Amino acid sequence: MFGRRKKRLTDPDDRELTIEDLITLERYEEAEEKLKVRLKLVPKDLHAHLRLAEVYLALKNVVKALDEFQFVADSQADDGFFDKAIAVLSKAIKLAPGDENLPKRIERYRRMKRLEKRRQLAVEGLLGNKTTRAQTAGNQKLEIELLWNKIAKSHLVEQLSAVNLKKLFSVMKMMRARPDKALAEAGSNVPVMFMVVDGVVEAGAEVNGRYTSIRAFSTGDLIGESALLERKSWPARYVVTESATLFQLDRQGLEEVMQGNEDPLAFLSALRQQANDRDVAASLQRLHIS
C-alpha cells in the first residue's frame, strides 16, 4: 500500500510524453530509457540510434555517443549510402578530434563508394558484352555479379576508373578453359593478353632439356601484356592447370578501348603495371644462367 509507484513519463495533463517531448524538456535520462526500449524492439532503427547519440551528448557521455554514431555510419555504408555515412562520421570527428580511427573509417567508406561506382559500370560493360552473355546464358545477372566479386579486389580494378572498366569489360572476350589448354606457346607472337578470373594458369619452359614450371597465375593476374602492348613474343608456354575463366583482350578490343579514352596513358600503365611477362622472362633467364 505504501510502496513507491514507478513514475510514469507523463505531463501534467496525463498525456504520455514522446521521446521528442522528453528531449525538448531536457529530460534526457527518461529519453534514453525510452530510446533503449525502442531499440530492443527495432535494433536497426537508425533514427533512434542517432537520437540516442544526441541524448548521450547532452548527458556528456561522449564515448557512448561515438559508439552510436559509428553504428549508424557502418549500417548506412553497408546499405550503400556512403555519403550519409561520411556525414555522420564527420560530425563524430568534431567530438573526438584525436581519434585516429574515425578518419580511417571515412577513407574506407570513400574507397567503398569508388568501388561501388566501378562495380556498377563494370557490370554494365559485362552485360553489354556478347561473349559474356553467351557464357552466362542461365541466371545472367547473378553470374556476372559473381564474376565481378572475384575480380573486385584485383590490381587492375583498383587502378582503372569506372568509365575505363566499363569500356574494357565491354570488349574483352570471356572464355572458359579446361586443364591442359595452352593459351600461348613460348616464342609465339600472338598479340593478346588475358586476365585470370578464376582457376590457375602456369608459365613453364624447357630448361636444360627439362620442362620447368616458372610461375602460376590466378584470380586478378594479367598475362600477355608484352605480347599485346609491346609486340614482343611470349616468354614461356602458358597452360591452364586448373579449369579457368579468363577475359581475353586482343588488338581490336584494345583499339576500341583507346578510342576517346579519358586518360590513355593511365589505362596502358594499369595494363602494364603487374609486369608478369617481364618477371617470367627474368626468371627464365636466371634459370638458363644457373
At 98 the pLDDT is 82
142: in domain: no
Q: For the domain that residue 35 is a member of, what is the CATH number?
A: 1.25.40.10
Q: Which of residues 99, 116, 151 is at a domain's end?
A: 99
Q: Which of residues 80, 99, 118 is at a domain's end?
A: 99
Q: What are phi and psi of 275, to 5 degrees?
A: 50, 40
Which residue range is the domain that position 35 belongs to? 19-99
At 289 the pLDDT is 65
At 247 the pLDDT is 97
At 1 the pLDDT is 35
Q: For the domain that residue 251 is a member of, what is the CATH number?
A: 2.60.120.10
240: in domain: yes
Q: How many CB atoms lie within 10 A of CB 96?
A: 15
For 250, half-sphere exposure in the C-beta direction (CA atoms, 13 angstrom radius) is 7
**How do beta strands 222-223 and 192-207 pair?**
antiparallel
157: in domain: no
At 288 the pLDDT is 72
In 3D space, the residue among 283, 254, 284, 259 whose CA is nearest the CA of residue 271 turns out to be: 254
**Dihedral (CA of 70, 73, 79, 80) sign:** negative
Q: What are phi and psi of 161, to 5 degrees?
A: -75, 165
Q: How many CB atoms lie within 10 A of CB 283?
A: 17
Q: How many domains does the chain have?
A: 2
Residues 169 and 93 in one domain: no
124: in domain: no
Residues 182 and 93 in one domain: no
Give the residues of the chain that fall short of pLDDT 70: 1-15, 137-138, 289-290
Residues 171 and 284 in one domain: yes
35: in domain: yes
At 3 the pLDDT is 40
At 15 the pLDDT is 64
125: in domain: no
| Cβ(69)–Cβ(88) below 8 Å | yes
In this prediction, what percent of the chain has a pLDDT beyond 70? 93
Q: Looking up cell 583499339, which residue turns up?
A: 255
> 34: helix, coil or strand?
helix
Q: Which three cell numbers stand for residue 143?
A: 553470374
Q: Which three cell numbers stand for residue 31?
A: 529519453
At 34 the pLDDT is 95
